[in-house]
Each structure stands twice: as structure tokens, then as C-alpha cells.
């Protein structure tokens, strides 16, 4: 697939393509796409550990999901799950997901 076809395909599946110097930067899904297609947990359930949130301080995420504010493990677990699902969707669309370096969780 040539670069122009790849650019069009990225835009078709809802990825953001931004110029960065002499290169193009492909970012994650546009917010509306991510919110529309991402998994939703009930407001009473932590999206990280699946336990009840009642009695705990929640962290409200931009997509409408909630995780326990402490311990931070719930947010990390949710992020890994979200990233895995996003990578699977990119692969299913014929795109290669971005690589992860050692500094990312």
C-alpha cells in the first residue's frame, strides 16, 4: 500500500493525521469514534478492576467510564485494556499499530 492510500485508509477508520515537519503523524481515533465504539462499564463499576466503586473516590474518564482513584493500578489496567483493543481495531482495519517503547506502560 502506498503512502497516499495509507493516509486515506487512516482517515477512513477515524484516525487523526497531522503534519509534523516533513512527515505525517498518525494519532489515535478521533474522540467521537473512540467514545462511540469503546467498551462502556456501568457507572457503578470500575473499568479497571470491575469491582464496585461505591464508597471509593472515582476518577471520571473522558469517555464516560470510571476507575478507582486509588490505587493507580485500576487506571493502568484500564489503559492497557483500552490500548490492546485499539491495536486490534487498527490491525483489523489493515493498519499497523504504533510501537511501544520501554517508557510506556
How is the chain split into domains, by residue range? 3-92
Model confidence pTM above 0.75: no
Strand ranges inside the chain, DSSP E:
15-20, 23-29, 58-60, 66-68
**Separation CA 10–CA 16 (nearest Å):** 8
| pLDDT tens across the length of the chain (105 residues) | 566 676 666 666 666 667 777 776 666 655 544 445 578 899 999 999 999 998 878 999 888 899 998 888 999 999 888 888 888 888 888 888 877 555 444
Amino acid at each position: 500500500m502506498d503512502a497516499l492510500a495509507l493516509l486515506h485508509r487512516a482517515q477512513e477508520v477515524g484516525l487523526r493525521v497531522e503534519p509534523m515537519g516533513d512527515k505525517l503523524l498518525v494519532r489515535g481515533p478521533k474522540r467521537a469514534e473512540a467514545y462511540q465504539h469503546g467498551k462502556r462499564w456501568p457507572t457503578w463499576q470500575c473499568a479497571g478492576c470491575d469491582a464496585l466503586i461505591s464508597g471509593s473516590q472515582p476518577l471520571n474518564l473522558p469517555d464516560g467510564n470510571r476507575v478507582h482513584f486509588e490505587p493507580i493500578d485500576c487506571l493502568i489496567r484500564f489503559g492497557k485494556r483500552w490500548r490492546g483493543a485499539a491495536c486490534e481495531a487498527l490491525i483489523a482495519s489493515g493498519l499497523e499499530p504504533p510501537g511501544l517503547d520501554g517508557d510506556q506502560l
